[in-house]
């Protein structure tokens, strides 16, 4: 465990190390409490609708959301459509992406009766929280966010106002429904940190006697990061991702053309053979087996045998998910209705929170 922390720390850079350790500790403690009393917790997390979900999303976050829902946590998923335009200048295919997220969530076990699914753009009161929240942070704090910095660099564009301030918008996502647990990857940790700061400052400044907002805990999963088929991070833009909604044939093709090396003897050696290791890790995750054991079994079978095993195990694992999503996709009206209902429920909650905020700020002149 300590070693895993160290590795992540190095990756995240020194400036984050102390806060990462504190966040990981809080995450573990919160999870322990959550197991005892799930009904006391409200979870919010979400996705940007920039494409379809892949196996990395499934093991990295979707599985955990379903588990929380089934344990009886009050679960909420935001489809963060306004976050799409933080670093790109088109909303092409956004409708298709949003609806397919809903389909994948449901195929994976999210029950829209128990989990509220909604989008930024349909919840005006949630967005309005942005105004008081922006007054609680300084420009310097916004510029210090390491995730925003790296997103700006990789976008190749000038820093837009939205890219600079979207972590505050993410605080609106989390706080409008008073979530106290936020499962995320470590790149989103700075956003949960600023959310905690905003909640604390708002309460201190305007709601000392009756605090309105909780200071939410980030939930950092222990699941290993799933490598893409080429050994790099699994990312749609690298073309190395196994999409949940791909066909078995597409998946076979993708795995077939993934790079390996010339050593026929298959071993699990992430350090020196990252591409072979990525395939073994993938097979390990979908079968629940130890990747080293799979390697041993394949032995001198070479890349061909390895790929055959990965293809078969991935397609077998995803077959029921794919069947369910195909079934769901036959009735898009129902998918739209589910989103409509989630948005309706989110609006009711957001309106109530905004009323409390206006009340605390002495801004309810019209009553
Ligand atoms: N930033 C998250 C991502 O890119 C998505 C997101 C939007 C989110 N709002 C959120 C995550 C609120 C957790 C809580 O993956």
Q: Whose CA is nearest to atom 2 of ligand 1?
A: 47
CA distance 184 to 110: 17
Closest by CA position to 132, among listed 203, 73, 226: 203
Q: Whose CA is nearest to atom 15 of ligand 1?
A: 47
For ligand 1, the distance from its centroid to the CA atom of residue 195, given in whole angstroms, is: 12
- Structural domains for the chain: 15-223 (3.40.50.620), 236-328 (1.10.240.10)
Q: Whose CA is nearest to atom 3 of ligand 1?
A: 47
Give the pLDDT confidence of 36-69 residue by residue, as tens digits: 999 999 999 999 999 999 999 999 999 999 999 9
What are the respective helix, strand and coil percentages of the chain, to the nearest 5? 65, 10, 30
Tokens for 44?
């919010």
Closest by CA position to 106, among listed 265, 326, 352, 269: 326
Of 170, 189, 216, the residue with max ligand 1 atoms within 8 A of its CB, to mutate for a pocket test, comes to: 170
Q: Whose CA is nearest to atom 6 of ligand 1?
A: 46
Q: What is the pLDDT of residue 364?
A: 94
Give the pLDDT confidence of 336-348 residue by residue, as tens digits: 999 999 999 999 9
Of 42, 46, 65, the residue with max ligand 1 atoms within 8 A of its CB, to mutate for a pocket test, comes to: 46
Q: Whose CA is nearest to atom 8 of ligand 1?
A: 46
Give the pLDDT confidence of 214-233 residue by residue, as tens digits: 999 999 987 767 899 999 98
Average predicted confidence (pLDDT) for the chain:
93
Q: Whose CA is nearest to atom 9 of ligand 1?
A: 170
For ligand 1, the distance from its centroid to the CA atom of residue 166, given in whole angstroms, is: 10
pLDDT of residue 185 exceeding 60: yes
Q: Which atom of ligand 1 is nearest to the CA of 47?
A: 5
By residue count, the chain amounts to 367
Q: Which atom of ligand 1 is nearest to the CA of 173?
A: 12
Residue 76: beta bridge partners? 44, 116
Instruction: List, chain by chain if needed, residues with CB within 6 Å of any ligand 1 atom.
Output: 44-48, 78, 80, 83, 170, 173-174, 182, 184, 188
Q: Whose CA is nearest to atom 1 of ligand 1?
A: 188
Q: Which atom of ligand 1 is nearest to the CA of 170?
A: 9
Q: What is the pLDDT of residue 226?
A: 82
Distance, C-alpha 162 to centroid of its chain: 20
For ligand 1, the distance from its centroid to the CA atom of residue 357, given in whole angstroms, is: 23
For ligand 1, the distance from its centroid to the CA atom of residue 83, given in whole angstroms, is: 8
The pTM assigned to this predicted structure is 0.93
- Specify the DSSP class assigned to residue 223: S
Give the pLDDT confidence of 310-362 residue by residue, as tens digits: 999 999 999 999 999 999 999 999 999 999 999 999 999 999 999 999 999 99
pLDDT of residue 250 exceeding 80: yes
For ligand 1, the distance from its centroid to the CA atom of residue 317, given in whole angstroms, is: 27
For ligand 1, the distance from its centroid to the CA atom of residue 170, given in whole angstroms, is: 7
Task: DSSP for 57-115, please give it.
Answer: HIIIIIHHHHHHHHHT-EEEEEE-GGGGGGS-S--TTHHHHHHHHHHHHHHTT--TTTE
């Amino acid at each position: 465990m300590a070693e895993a922390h160290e590795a992540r720390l190095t990756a995240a850079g020194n400036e984050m190390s102390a806060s990462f350790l504190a966040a990981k500790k809080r995450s573990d403690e919160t999870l322990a409490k959550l197991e005892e009393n799930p009904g006391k917790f409200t979870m919010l997390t979400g996705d940007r609708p920039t494409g379809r979900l892949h196996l990395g999303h499934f093991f990295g976050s979707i599985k955990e959301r379903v588990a929380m829902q089934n344990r009886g946590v009050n679960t909420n998923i935001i489809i963060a459509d306004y976050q799409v335009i933080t670093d790109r200048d088109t909303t092409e295919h956004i409708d298709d992406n949003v609806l397919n997220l809903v389909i994948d969530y449901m195929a994976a076990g999210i029950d829209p009766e128990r989990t509220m699914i909604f989008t930024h753009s349909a919840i005006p009161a949630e967005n309005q929280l942005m105004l008081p929240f922006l007054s609680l942070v300084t420009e310097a704090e916004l510029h210090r966010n390491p995730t925003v910095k790296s997103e700006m660099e990789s976008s190749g564009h000038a820093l837009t106002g939205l890219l600079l301030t979207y972590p505050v918008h993410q605080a609106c996502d989390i706080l409008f429904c008073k979530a106290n647990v936020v499962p995320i990857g470590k790149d989103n940790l700075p956003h949960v940190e600023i959310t905690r700061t905003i909640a604390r400052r708002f309460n201190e400044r305007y709601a000392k006697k009756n605090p309105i907002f909780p200071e939410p805990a980030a939930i950092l999963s222990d699941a290993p990061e799933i490598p893409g088929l080429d050994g790099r991070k699994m990312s749609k833009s690298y073309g190395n991702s196994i999409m949940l909604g791909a066909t078995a044939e597409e998946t076979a093709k993708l795995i077939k053309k993934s790079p390996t090396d010339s050593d026929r003897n298959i071993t699990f050696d992430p350090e020196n053979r990252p591409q072979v290791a990525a395939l073994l890790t993938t097979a390990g995750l979908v079968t629940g087996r130890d990747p080293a054991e799979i390697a041993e079994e394949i032995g001198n079978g070479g890349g061909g045998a390895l790929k055959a095993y990965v293809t078969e195990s991935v397609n077998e694992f995803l077959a029921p998910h794919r069947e369910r999503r195909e079934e769901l996709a036959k009735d898009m009206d129902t998918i739209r209705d589910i989103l409509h209902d989630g948005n309706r429920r989110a609006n009711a909650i957001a309106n109530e929170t905004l009323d409390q905020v206006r009340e605390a700020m002495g801004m309810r002149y019209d009553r």
